[in-house]
Amino acid sequence: MSKSLYKTLLDVLAYAVLLFGALTMLVPFLWMISVSFRVPAEQFSRNIIPNPFTLQNYFDLFEDLPNQAFLYLTVNSFKLSILAVIGQVLTCAMAAFAFAIVKFKGRDFLFALLVATLMIPPQVSLIPNFIIFKYLGWIGTQLPLIVPAFWGGAFGTFLLRQYFLTIPRDLVDAARMDGASLFDIFWRIYLPLSKPAVAALSIFVFKDAWNDLLHPLVYLPTDMQKTTLTVGLAFFQQQLQMGGKFTVLMAGAFLSILPLLVIFFIAQKQFIEGVALSGVKR
């Protein structure tokens, strides 16, 4: 067997394995979408294509949840996710710039210490944070989900620092000769040049904040006008299942992940480029 034929067979085998893995992950997603467009009588059918096709489940979703709860849940999730993105991008970018460009004593040690915090599960700090927020009187408000986003994060700092290191240092020297301050260099040079990495971080942060169930469940009340979409769907899951309305539940699940799909497909080029150049996998 020639080397070219052997390489071709390996490529075909590799693509076959990847295709099988993609289908394995895609089939449950397609089934969820299919069920959301079915009538209740056909909700357990094995057919992927709904027959008959209906949009009634999406209308029932708003009618079955009292007092326009789905609308409030969606608005709260968008609000918290966008604020989390703004806070993380700003604070992580400034910290990454300091670790990548600014020279100070103990910089490498502090950065290694920061990266080491990635090994600490977020559940470990949940109780201490709860005690602090309770002392501040923030429990029952959205502040515990907003303020920590402006404290920065190890993952975002690491991702942006790795990208900042790929930007030529000559730009800093040239800007310094022109009298630019460190903030001017950060705001006018490094931040605009790091759009792919910022896009990647924004998608990561938005996804984590949008899908977060634990923290809103702990810090926010069960009032459907104040909590998030993930908590609301989990709260109404038993009610919809007991009513035999799996089709309505799948409609809510599909709408809950739709913003993530839209954002990823819009910014996928910058996302892939940012992850590739910074060498970060997650």
Residue 223: CATH number of its domain: 1.10.3720.10
Per-residue confidence (pLDDT) for residue 278, from 0 to 100: 52
14 within a domain of the structure (yes/no): no
Domain membership of residue 121 as a residue range: 60-278
108 within a domain of the structure (yes/no): yes
231 within a domain of the structure (yes/no): yes
40 within a domain of the structure (yes/no): no
131 within a domain of the structure (yes/no): yes
Write the Ramachandran bin of 140: left for phi over 0, alpha for psi from -120 to 50, otherwise beta: left
Per-residue confidence (pLDDT) for residue 242, from 0 to 100: 52
Per-residue confidence (pLDDT) for residue 209, from 0 to 100: 92
Using alpha carbons only, how large is the chain's radius of gyration in Å? 23
Q: How many CB atoms lie within 10 A of CB 277?
A: 16
Per-residue confidence (pLDDT) for residue 260, from 0 to 100: 85
Residue 94's Cβ-count burial label (10 Å; 0-12, 13-18, 19+) is: middle
Per-residue confidence (pLDDT) for residue 123, from 0 to 100: 83
Residue 97 structure tokens: 């710039």
189 within a domain of the structure (yes/no): yes
Nearest CA among 209, 208, 201, 206 for reference residue 277: 201
15 within a domain of the structure (yes/no): no
Write the Ramachandran bin of 105: left for phi over 0, alpha for psi from -120 to 50, otherwise beta: beta
Count of domains in the chain?
1
pLDDT per residue, tens digit, the chain (282 aa), is 567 777 788 888 888 898 888 888 888 888 888 888 888 888 777 778 888 888 888 888 777 666 677 888 889 999 999 999 999 999 999 999 999 988 888 888 999 999 898 888 888 888 899 999 999 999 988 999 999 999 888 999 998 998 898 888 888 888 888 888 888 888 988 988 888 888 888 888 998 999 898 899 889 877 777 888 888 888 877 666 555 678 888 888 888 888 888 887 887 776 676 566 555 545
168 within a domain of the structure (yes/no): yes
Distance linking the first and last C-alpha atoms of the chain: 39
Residue 133 structure tokens: 């927020």
Per-residue confidence (pLDDT) for residue 147, from 0 to 100: 93
